[in-house]
Structure formats: structure tokens, C-alpha cells
Amino acid sequence: MRNIALKMMYDGTAYHGWQVQKNDVTVAGTLEKALSKMCGHTVKAVGCGRTDAGVHAKCYCANFKTDSRIPCDRIPFAVNALLPPDISVTAAAEVEDDFNAILSCDRKEYTYYIYNSRIKDPFYHNRAYFYPSPLKLEVMREAAREFVGTHDFAAVRSVGTETKTTVRTVYYYDVEQKGDIFSLRVCADGFLYNMARAMAGTLIYASEGKLAPEDIPGLLEKRDRRHTGPTVPPQGLYMTRLWYGGTAGEKLFK
């Protein structure tokens, strides 16, 4: 049995998140149907994260087991012919038997895009968060720096998924502006449910003066979701980079 890792990207607008659900169309369910048809047997895919409904991925990893002998360099062409245009497999590699897309991932990066203009742009609909009030770049950068390090992030987690610990390490959180687009790029060893979106909302609160950047460490210590910023809409969030060791890291995610 071969263990195949896939590098993927997708537009999450039409999907109810990654994870397979009985009554909703999901990215995993759509991928598994295509892979099963390609391989000639039922395929179950493991994804690197449970992206929510409407969240996108410029970089994503999934793995599956198969007896099919189709060469890895042919897999993207074969499976893409069976996938809708908003999901694409860009590369494939045979990896170690114990490789698991979520458990083997060392770090993840998400980027949240905000379209900051008084007038909406239809070409950013479902691609970025339209926010008409002026944002303060330097204040948001100061606030982002307060999240860097190892902390208990319960204050920026939505209720819904239980974890053994709410402690995570954020390696960097960079805020950039190009024209009307703000990009909030955060890398961590793992993310809690809605953590990236709640952190982005907290940066917006800081820009609005509803909290000061230096307040954030104290808010994290309180572990109370009510004191941090809102969970911003999903359409601005993208998974943008992944880190792996072993074959997956060498062949797919350098």
C-alpha cells in the first residue's frame, strides 16, 4: 500500500469547509470522490487542517493510501480531470508509511486579506474582507507583535473543538499594506478553532482604538474570549504555507 501526499490549492467559497460531512459539500468529500474514481477503490484523505466554510487555501496538504500504481507525476493531471475548477492538485509524492498530513506538519501559515476602501470592489467578493473604515497599519503591526511567542490562546479561540491544550507558539505575525489590501500573515505550530480569524479581529479592534496593543498579553492571560476582538468573516482567510520534514518536505514543501 502506497502513501501518497498531495500539494493542493482551492477556493473554499462553494464548500462547507474541508472535513467530510453528511449533508454538505466539502473539499475533502469532493477530493475523495475524484481520488476513488482515479484509483478504482474507495479512498479516504487526511487533510492538514480543518478549514472552515468559505476559507481558501493557496497551499494545502492531504495524504491517502492506495494500491494503484499510477505514477506520482501523473496524479495531478489524472485527478484534476475529475475535480471541479475550484480545487487543484499541483503535485504528488510517495511518502513514508507513517506520514500524516496533519500530525506530521511542523508549522502552518495563514494569511488574512482585508480590502480597506470606502467603496467595495466586486472582484474581491469572497476573496477578501471588505472593511470600509480606515485601518492604522503601525498600530496593527504593534498589536500583531504581542501575539508572537508561546502563550495560552484560549482568549482567541471559538468554542466548538476540544483540544488537550490551548497553548500554541506563534513564530511571526506580519502586517503589510499594498494599496487598499492589508495582509495579516501569521505562522504557528498549530491553530485553535477560529484562532487566526479572532486574532485578525483583535488587530482591527486595536486599529479602532477599542484596545491598545500592549493590552493583548493581559487579555491572553485572562483566557476570556469576550475581551478580545471579533471573529472576522472566513472569506478573507487563506492557508498559505506549510512546513514538513522527510520526503514531503523535500519534494512538495521546500
Which contacts of 131-140 are long-range, i.e. CB under 8 A and separated by 24 or more positions? 131/204, 133/208, 135/177, 135/182, 135/204, 135/207, 136/207, 137/175, 137/177, 137/182, 139/206, 139/207, 139/213, 140/175, 140/182, 140/184, 140/203, 140/204, 140/206, 140/207
Q: Is the pLDDT of residue 51 over 90?
A: no
Domains observed in the chain? 2-103 (3.30.70.580), 107-240 (3.30.70.660)
Model-level pTM? 0.96
Q: Is the pLDDT of residue 162 over 80?
A: no
Q: 87 — phi, psi (to 5°)?
A: -130, 135
Averaged pLDDT of the chain: 96
| Choice among 52, 67, 73, 180 that is catalytic | 52
Q: What is the pLDDT of residue 160?
A: 67
Placement of cell 491544550 in the chain: 165
Angle between helices 195-208 and 137-145 (to 10 degrees): 130
C-alpha separations of 24 from 15, 30, 56, 99, 142 in Å = 8, 11, 17, 28, 40
Instruction: Kindly report, residue by residue over 135-160, the tens digit of the pLDDT.
Output: 999 999 999 999 999 999 999 998 76
52 is catalytic: yes
Burial class (CB in 10 A: 0-12, 13-18, 19+), 215: middle
Q: Is the pLDDT of residue 80 over 70?
A: yes
Q: What is the pLDDT of residue 164?
A: 85
Q: How many CB atoms lie within 10 A of CB 224?
A: 11
| Least confidently predicted of 51-65, 94-108, 147-161 | 147-161
Q: How many CB atoms lie within 10 A of CB 32?
A: 18
